[in-house]
């Protein structure tokens, strides 16, 4: 099997450098027509793609500006008639401990990562529904999945994108739209100084891009959280344990404390197909019919 993108049109946000640049170059090298979105450096990446024989156009739209994002999508449609792939990659950091963090910095990170992805996805959603095809990729993070000291704003935004993905995938399934998340570990401008030099050398952004190409392909799954770094690929899941039925008596808090090990036991844990699975499990454990 060879993953190719001839006839496909892709938008990659935050593609002026780092991960986004690698994603845009690789999509173009495999035949996609690419909208390179970046506030300042989109033109340089477009020039690289064209010099290699590919097709690309630049967009300087801010993902925080929905009107500008809509104009970017209209630009793609005017040039090539469709949009098949959206890689929501644009992001920023404003790292501080929560005690020291200004709420404006918390909100700004949410606006770029979460609302930026919402804006871009909303702008292509009806188009993808009409053409009965779409591949949308969110950029989540191990920080969102598992936490990281000093990054409450970034973590909140990145885990929110997973929830966004989970429901979008359900809503898009009958329209041929598959929605997934990439959790990259890579050395970019945003990670300068955060890790030792010898570690950063292994974490080239290009090592993440193969996972993005797979998630952008016709063969992509949906609702996957694919992790990638240094040539290693993992998959993360949001799981639910079988739990234990304890009841609702006056001593239930104490009984929860006594049985927390059983409640937490991961034997037979599941990956729910939808949020309703939690309630169904709870009713079933209580002796009802779900």
CA atoms within a 13 Å half-sphere pointing along the CA-CB vector of 250? 0
Contact between residue 46 and residue 21 where contact means Cβ atoms under 8 Å apart = no
Contact between residue 148 and residue 155 where contact means Cβ atoms under 8 Å apart = yes
Strand runs labelled E in the chain: 9-12, 33-37, 55-59, 85-88, 134-139, 177-184, 225-229, 232-236
Give dist(CA 221, CA 274) in Å, integer. 16
Active site residue 154: yes
Contact between residue 96 and residue 118 where contact means Cβ atoms under 8 Å apart = no
Instruction: Say which of 154, 175, 214, 237 is annotated catalytic.
Output: 154
Surface-to-core class of residue 264, CB atoms within 10 Å of its CB (0-12 exposed, 13-18 middle, 19+ buried): exposed
Three-state DSSP state, 13: coil
Structure tokens at 248: 């609702």
Q: Nearest-5° angle of CA 259, CA 265, CA 267?
A: 145
Contact between residue 88 and residue 120 where contact means Cβ atoms under 8 Å apart = yes
Structure tokens at 87: 């890689």
> Which residues are tagged catalytic?
154
């Amino acid at each position: 099997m060879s993953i190719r993108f001839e006839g496909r049109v892709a938008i990659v946000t935050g593609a002026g450098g780092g991960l986004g640049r690698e994603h845009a170059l690789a999509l173009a090298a495999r035949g996609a027509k690419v909208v390179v979105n970046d506030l300042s450096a989109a033109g340089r990446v477009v020039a690289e793609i064209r010099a290699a024989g590919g097709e690309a156009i630049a967009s300087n739209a801010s993902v925080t500006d929905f009107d500008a994002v809509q104009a970017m999508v209209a630009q793609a449609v005017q040039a090539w008639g469709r949009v098949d792939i959206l890689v929501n990659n644009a992001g920023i950091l404003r790292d501080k401990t929560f005690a020291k963090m200004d709420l404006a910095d918390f909100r700004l990170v949410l606006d770029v990562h979460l609302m930026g992805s919402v804006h871009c996805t909303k702008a292509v959603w009806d188009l993808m529904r009409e053409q009965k095809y779409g591949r949308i990729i969110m950029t989540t993070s191990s920080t969102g999945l598992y936490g990281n000291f000093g990054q409450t704003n970034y973590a909140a935004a990145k885990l929110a994108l997973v929830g966004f993905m989970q429901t979008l995938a359900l809503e898009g399934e009958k329209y041929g739209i598959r929605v997934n998340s990439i959790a990259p570990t890579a050395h970019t401008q945003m990670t300068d100084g955060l890790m030792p030099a010898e570690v950063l050398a292994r974490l080239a952004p290009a090592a993440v891009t193969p996972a993005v190409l797979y998630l952008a392909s016709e063969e992509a799954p949906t609702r996957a959280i694919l992790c990638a770094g240094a040539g290693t690929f993992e998959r993360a899941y949001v799981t639910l344990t079988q739990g234990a039925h304890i009841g609702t008596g006056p001593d239930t808090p104490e009984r929860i404390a006594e049985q927390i090990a059983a409640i937490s036991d991961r034997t037979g844990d599941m990956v729910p197909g939808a949020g309703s699975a939690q309630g169904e499990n709870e009713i079933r454990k209580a002796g009802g019919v779900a």
